[in-house]
Amino acid sequence: MEAVYAESQIHEKPEKILKDIFLRDEYGNGNKEFIRTLFLETISQTDECDKLIDGYLKNWEFNRIALLDKLILRMAITEMIFINDTPPKVVISEAIEIAKEYSTDESSSFVNGILDTVYKHSKLKKSKQVKAG
């Protein structure tokens, strides 16, 4: 989360941001690799994630979403759809906890609603692809 937030604010090169993050805290090699993968993939999938988020908004405008909520959603959607290493329900649960800790009182239910919808639609899309194939 720190790396994604830093990138959104200072627009440094991703590897410099990661280096700074890794210098501040101790991480095992497995965690470092996961953080690197999630961070770089989140950055590369920003436009795709934003389209998904915007497509599932009801009675809300994308540009009114709090920055932290956007970043949490982007990371969770990236992890669920583009990385696929963690069960989606675990990703959603972690995103809700991050929203509770770092964002507004309403953020956790907002994040839950968007991610649940993204998950259900992606699951439906995958089942249709399996049936078609």
Give Cα separations from 83 to 49, 58, 132 (angstroms). Answer: 13, 27, 23
pLDDT digit string (tens) for 17-40?
Answer: 999 999 988 887 789 999 999 999
Spatial CA neighbour of 88 closest among 114, 62, 110, 107 = 114
Q: What is the pTM of this model?
A: 0.90
- Domain containing 25 — which CATH number? 1.10.940.10
pLDDT digit string (tens) for 85-99?
Answer: 899 999 999 999 999
Where do the DSSP E strands lie in the chain? none
Q: How many structural domains are present in the chain? A: 1
pLDDT digit string (tens) for 97-131?
Answer: 999 999 999 999 999 999 999 999 887 666 565 56
Spatial CA neighbour of 110 closest among 58, 63, 49, 46 = 58
Token couple for 14: 């991703």
Give Cα separations from 69 to 22, 123, 128 (angstroms). Answer: 24, 23, 30
Q: Give the residue numbers spanning the domain of 11.
A: 2-132
